[in-house]
Structure 1
Amino acid sequence: MEARTKTVEDWFAMVREGLLTLPRFQRFEAWRPNQIEGVLENILRVPSLPIGALLLLEVGDKELFHSRPLSGAPSPKGMPQMNLLDGQQRMTALWRSLIDDYDEFTVFVSLENEERPEIEIVKRYISKSGKRMPLWADIPAECLERNYFPVSILCPGSKGEHAMDEWTEAAETDKATDKAIMRLRQRLASYPIPFLSLPVTTEQETALDVFIKMNTSASPLKDFDIVVAQLEGAVGDSLHDMIAELNEKVPAAADYGKVEDAALAIGALLNGKPPLKRTYLDPAFGSELANVWDQVVVGLKRGVSFLRDEAIFNERLLPTEVIVYLTGALWAHVPVDGADQEGRARTLIRKAIWRASFTDRYLKTATTRAFADYKAIQDMIVNPVSSAAPDLFDEAQNPLPPAAELIRGGWPSRKDRLGRAIVAVSLYGGGYDFADGAKATADNVRFREYHHVYPRSLVQDQFPDHEVNSALNCALISWKTNRKIAAKNPKQYLEERGQDANATEEQVRHRLESHRVPYDDLINGDFRKFIETRANLIHTSMQKLCEGSVP
């Protein structure tokens, strides 16, 4: 990596000629006005202060990344010389300030102290009469009265010089002011900005890794964010537009996490590749994704519908994100009118998602393992006599937990995989609310809360924390019901809920048992017996689901 320096004038010449561009994975500008003030004041003061080094990637015969110009800059007419990997905010702030490209404000320099010039950013707005306010900011003579001149007249190059001549003539400045402005123009144009450059021989993945490590943003990009933006140019249309359209067609997909993550992973699987960064960075992946995009949409739509049928209503109930893209990719292969094949697919995919939820199969190297399982299960769906044997279905390699081990299922709000799987199973029988009797649905479950079936205050002094806060002591019920239960013992709050809701004991029993909650053990007051009985009930349902059957 080589360290060099260019002046502001040199950098601006490159921007104008389209020789310096931004990789498309770069986020758009995010600096606030005070940050713009700071970088300009560091440059214009005497002595000047550093504004930090840039990180660039030299471009050879072919760009490693699809690129775009800086905001407000002309589009490149040919191949750029460099991609700006880090320093976008500084360079964009300089460029847009000096070409007066901000609609929401105008950047001024104070004339009061030439050695320590202060930057003043004046907010602009449009009045009801359609005029840009305040009016004085566009009148040179009135600006001069306030000892201000626009920073845009310091812009290096002939356009900046022409803007300076026009402004000073309109403001009727004196020679001393003109000389001060010229000195500031020269100071800015000759200000050196150092940069580090990666050579043209740098590999794409290496450039990305360096970018991530050196990125100075308050919220640095993740690998996947980079991949999403990087693909936009490759698919011809904007991937963000495609994702927006996908959100309109399958709005429920957003309930399960980032739609773009699921879409790219499904696209990779449909193209016979693992959903890894290496796959997404392949130059051919963009066109490959476009080729299967219709299948991605269909698969995600049918997959989300299936997850809802399985009582996994949203990300809060999702034991592992793998099942979202695995389900979507598998459903993309199933003919809509293929009754026999659809029935076989439903059984196999049910088996897959619940075994993924209850086994440790995807705790490590999830994407590569999901790819291997996907290929085998997809073959089983398409071919009734397939001999494929996915490791996910191998009981020896990936055993289901016995009933006694279900106590390991932690409180589901803590993103505990086993805990979430247990709560999802508990909703499979309807998950009727204890008080209002409403069945759990994708619409109402988002307003429900995790409730300690045995109130924590009643048992926390007698039993270990991992049992008190186990998913086996959890039910997802409406917040109103949860508030009314408070710290009452189960028998008391169930009697009160039955009276308030005008429900019989049999109705209340049915509601609890729809959560796999053993009614008799609950009201008897034996917490340990309750936990053991519920573990067995959940375990029985788990086994049937993991066989592909409905409990």
Structure 2
Amino acid sequence: MEARDRSVEAWFNRVRSGQLRLPRFQRFEAWDYENIAALIDSILRDLPIGSTLVLEIGEREPFVTRPLAGAPAPVERCTEHLLDGQQRLTALWRSLHDLYDDVTLFVQLKAPEPDEDGTAPSRITRVKRWLNKDGRRFPVWADDAVQVYSRGLAPVSLLQPSDISARRQQWCDQAVQGDLQASRDLENALRDLQEKMKRFNLPMLVLDVATKPATALDVFVKMNTSAVPLNAFDIIVAQFEARTGKSMHDLMIDLRKKCPALESYVSPEQIVLQTAALRADRTPAQASFFQLDLSDVAAAWDEIFDGVNWAVQVLEEECIFDGQRLPTVTIMPVLAALHKYMPKKLDEHGNARATIRSYVWRSSITSRYENASATRSLQDYRGLRDFLAGTGARNAVPVFNDADYPLPSVEELIQAGWPKRRETLARAVLAASIKAGAIDIADGNQATRQRLANREYHHVFPDSLLRDDGGLSDRESSRALNCLLITMNTNRNISAKEPLKYLSERIDRADLGEPVVRDRLRSHIVPFEELKVGGYFEIASPEERTKKIRADYEAFMRTRADMVRASLKALAEGRNWPNEGA
């Protein structure tokens, strides 16, 4: 390995010609605009920004490559692979060519004064950009030389290390509105900044042409020093391509395209690695990812894809439509890995599907995955795999052990917190209500994946009523059993009304009267009679009012807890509730 110097101008020339390219296994852009602005500011202050890692190329490229993001199509033969430094070079190329759609970077023409502690503020200003409905880019001033200059700014793109003298002169003339001397002074100042950018040295470590691909890959993994370090997936992508000659990035793009709902639950990259680990009889954790035989992963990719797609299908059939309503993500790779063992014959498949349903719900309502979830998911996977393959007993699967993992009691259901928080049982209660149909009590529409975007979490007994007049804490009022998922319009209409009042309004406005409202509440597993309460503010005594509010709330919570527990029990037994009854 050899250390060399190279100016930003020389780097740009190689990017422009295509002599420098990225190995396909490199991840995509990971820097945010704060990192990008800090990079340019560091260059203008002559501060070091690290080094790059380059592999020299002979007659034959060892890796499949692609140009940097935003770079033109290559016109010359590739002579170098950029193994480390992609984020820095891509950030420089795109910002200095103004290639970001949602931001424009500007440089302050006068360097800001240091703060009291001696810290120099950044000289780079980021301006957020957007298009209006007519396609016009805002803010408009950011494209107006006069207004930009009046703010003491100039576009960073005027500092790019190439011959842009004509464009720079034109911008300066426009900015100062024809003042020849001011234009020349401004142009000279920008030229000085451009020269600083051109001459800035971004050093590199060079692996010569004799370096074997495996060695280059190993160095890439060990020496990556970017501001956003490589994660397990980034490393495995590189190893996967070196081992198989296939692009995992391309496979993941195809997965996202064919299974677009997956990303609403979990990171596709994460579930692929977790599924592969389980299929290899390893825990779905990072330590296992690096022990995978990537040739086996490549050979089984279609099965992994089918499994992941099936896992999403199972959750959709259980009316769990996204990660916000998914009680535990632990189940997803287990489902994906089990797909290959599902029987194909009709009745056998139906029986196996009931077991899968039982697994999904028992995992969500018991304490099975509260601790050591990776190890326990492997244990459950092994037991379910053997059962589906006909070599093991169903009661040998740990999650089905009632003694160790009993269903929640009525008291535990009452204590379950607000489902918007990451509490497994609380989310399971909400998931069961969506499984029941969750028909909006005003507009009559059932909850679906598409409609969830317009649904809000609503307190059945108003939060303000319980806290201000019932004397309850936020934890006591914001519980899963006091939650409905209803449309935004319905939620705004109900607001803080007493249950009896908004029920009466719904009955009056429903064409079919009270039976319709009863059915809609039942679709949330909500009792009707216990909500026919109110008149609290007709009670003169504050103590008696508080007592009645608390009594009504407790009665509602206990009745609903009984109903929810019966529903969860049916689901945990594998029944397709509510179609198959509780």
TM-score (ref. length: structure 2) = 0.66
1:413 maps to 2:406: no
Percent identity for Structure 1 against Structure 2: 33
1:476 maps to 2:485: yes
Seen in structure 2, the aligned counterparts of structure 1 residues 491 and 268 have a Cα distance that, compared at 3 Å, is same
Seen in structure 2, the aligned counterparts of structure 1 residues 36 and 9 have a Cα distance that, compared at 3 Å, is closer
How far has the Cα of 1:223 moved from its partner? 2.5
**How many residues are treated as equivalent by the alignment?**
477
Match among 402, 426, 431 for residue 409 of structure 2: 402
Seen in structure 2, the aligned counterparts of structure 1 residues 345 and 231 have a Cα distance that, compared at 3 Å, is farther
Q: 1:443-498: CA deviations, max 9, x gaps? A: 32332211111111111142232221001100112222212111111111011011
How far has the Cα of 1:103 moved from its partner? 12
Match among 329, 339, 353 for residue 331 of structure 1: 339
Cα distance in 2 for residues equivalent to 1:78 and 1:388: 61
Seen in structure 2, the aligned counterparts of structure 1 residues 3 and 539 have a Cα distance that, compared at 3 Å, is farther
Contact 1:433 1:440 in 2 (8 A): yes
1:52 maps to 2:49: yes
Partner of 1:304: 312
Answer with 462-471 or 390-399: which moved more. 390-399
Cα distance in 2 for residues equivalent to 1:210 and 1:399: 49
Seen in structure 2, the aligned counterparts of structure 1 residues 92 and 389 have a Cα distance that, compared at 3 Å, is same
Instruction: Give SS of 2:465's match.
Output: helix
Contact 2:531 2:556 in 1 (8 A): yes
Partner of 2:241: 233
Contact 2:160 2:197 in 1 (8 A): no
Contact 1:64 1:204 in 2 (8 A): no
Match among 408, 430, 437 for residue 444 of structure 2: 437
Q: 1:65-95: CA deviations, max 9, x gaps? A: 9987766598997997x842xx444445678
1:253 maps to 2:279: no
Contact 2:40 2:92 in 1 (8 A): no
Contact 2:159 2:197 in 1 (8 A): no
Contact 1:22 1:83 in 2 (8 A): no
1:504 maps to 2:530: no
Cα distance in 2 for residues equivalent to 1:19 and 1:496: 66
Letter in 1 for 2:301: W
Q: 1:167-217: CA deviations, max 9, x gaps? A: xxxxxxxxxxxxxxxx9999999866567999x999999986885xx642x
How far has the Cα of 1:256 moved from its partner? 2.0
Instruction: Give SS of 1:151's match.
Output: coil
Letter in 1 for 2:161: V
Instruction: Give SS of 1:413's match.
Output: coil
Contact 2:438 2:520 in 1 (8 A): yes
Cα distance in 2 for residues equivalent to 1:76 and 1:274: 44
1:342 maps to 2:349: yes
Answer with 363-372 or 497-506: which moved more. 363-372
How far has the Cα of 1:294 moved from its partner? 2.0
Cα distance in 1 for residues equivalent to 2:95 and 2:324: 45
Letter in 1 for 2:296: E
Instruction: Give SS of 2:449's match.
Output: coil
Partner of 2:366: 359
Residue segments in structure 2 that go unaligned for 5+ positions in a row: 106-122, 125-157, 165-191, 535-551
Contact 1:341 1:382 in 2 (8 A): no
Partner of 2:399: 392
Report matched runs for 1:148-227 at 5 Å: 151-152=161-162, 211=224, 215-216=226-227, 220=228, 223=231, 226-227=234-235
Answer with 359-368 or 27-36: which moved more. 27-36
Letter in 1 for 2:464: S
Partner of 1:166: none
Letter in 1 for 2:258: K
Contact 1:379 1:388 in 2 (8 A): no
How far has the Cα of 1:29 moved from its partner? 7.2
Contact 1:39 1:90 in 2 (8 A): no
Instruction: Give SS of 2:456's match.
Output: strand
Cα distance in 2 for residues equivalent to 1:209 and 1:366: 30
Cα distance in 2 for residues equivalent to 1:249 and 1:506: 42
Q: 1:137-178: CA deviations, max 9, x gaps? A: xxxxxxxxxxx9973479xxxxxxxxxxxxxxxxxxxxxxxx
Match among 535, 542, 545 for residue 568 of structure 2: 542
Report matched runs for 1:364-383 at 5 Å: 364-383=371-390
Cα distance in 1 for residues equivalent to 2:80 and 2:23: 10
Seen in structure 2, the aligned counterparts of structure 1 residues 227 and 418 have a Cα distance that, compared at 3 Å, is farther
Contact 2:440 2:520 in 1 (8 A): yes
Seen in structure 2, the aligned counterparts of structure 1 residues 328 and 506 have a Cα distance that, compared at 3 Å, is same
Contact 2:416 2:481 in 1 (8 A): yes
Contact 1:69 1:76 in 2 (8 A): no
Residue segments in structure 1 that go unaligned for 5+ positions in a row: 43-48, 108-117, 120-147, 155-182
Cα distance in 2 for residues equivalent to 1:7 and 1:319: 53
Seen in structure 2, the aligned counterparts of structure 1 residues 5 and 210 have a Cα distance that, compared at 3 Å, is closer
> Alignment RMSD, CA only?
5.2
Cα distance in 2 for residues equivalent to 1:253 and 1:95: 33
Seen in structure 2, the aligned counterparts of structure 1 residues 288 and 79 have a Cα distance that, compared at 3 Å, is farther
Contact 2:161 2:195 in 1 (8 A): no
Seen in structure 2, the aligned counterparts of structure 1 residues 356 and 65 have a Cα distance that, compared at 3 Å, is farther
Seen in structure 2, the aligned counterparts of structure 1 residues 515 and 204 have a Cα distance that, compared at 3 Å, is farther
Partner of 2:457: 450
Cα distance in 1 for residues equivalent to 2:504 and 2:8: 80
Contact 2:466 2:472 in 1 (8 A): yes
Partner of 1:145: none
Contact 2:7 2:200 in 1 (8 A): yes
Match among 497, 500, 517 for residue 491 of structure 1: 500
Cα distance in 2 for residues equivalent to 1:472 and 1:547: 22
Report matched runs for 1:38-77 at 5 Å: 38=41, 41-42=44-45, 49-54=46-51
Instruction: Give SS of 1:314's match.
Output: coil
Partner of 1:269: 278
How far has the Cα of 1:371 moved from its partner? 2.0
Cα distance in 2 for residues equivalent to 1:247 and 1:463: 46
Partner of 2:543: none
How far has the Cα of 1:422 moved from its partner? 0.6
Letter in 1 for 2:571: L
Contact 2:278 2:337 in 1 (8 A): yes
1:428 maps to 2:435: yes
Cα distance in 2 for residues equivalent to 1:248 and 1:270: 24
